[in-house]
Amino acid sequence: MNQLSEIQAGETVIVESLYAKDLLKERMLALGMTKGAKIEVIRKGPANNLTVYKIRGSMIALRREEASLVHVSIN
């Protein structure tokens, strides 16, 4: 299982588990990051610190430390 932060731009993955806690976990669940959801990595920002993802038709940006809390499998 990989962390979402390790996935390269252009790849699509499936959410396996979420290790965030409290408010961050609530935010990620509200954005649709539930088990089985497909996430496409759109582009990585400078120094790979900020990455844009497409999930359930919406574009979101996550920092590397936030994305590392999402474990995924490659589609």
**Domains delineated in the chain:** 2-74 (2.30.30.90)
- Of the pLDDT bands very low, low, confident and very high (cuts 50, 70, 90), residue 8 is very high
Instruction: Give me the chain's average pLDDT, please.
Output: 94
Whole-number Cα distances in Å, 27 to 1, 12, 18, 30, 74: 22, 21, 12, 5, 23
User: Measured in whole angstroms, how far is the alpha carbon of residue 35 from the centre of its chain?
Assistant: 12
pTM score, two decimals? 0.90
As a whole number, mean pLDDT of residues 1-22 equals 95
Can you tell me the distance from the alpha carbon of 47 to that of 20, in angstroms, rounded to the nearest whole number? 23
| 14 close to 36: Cβ distance less than 8 angstroms | yes
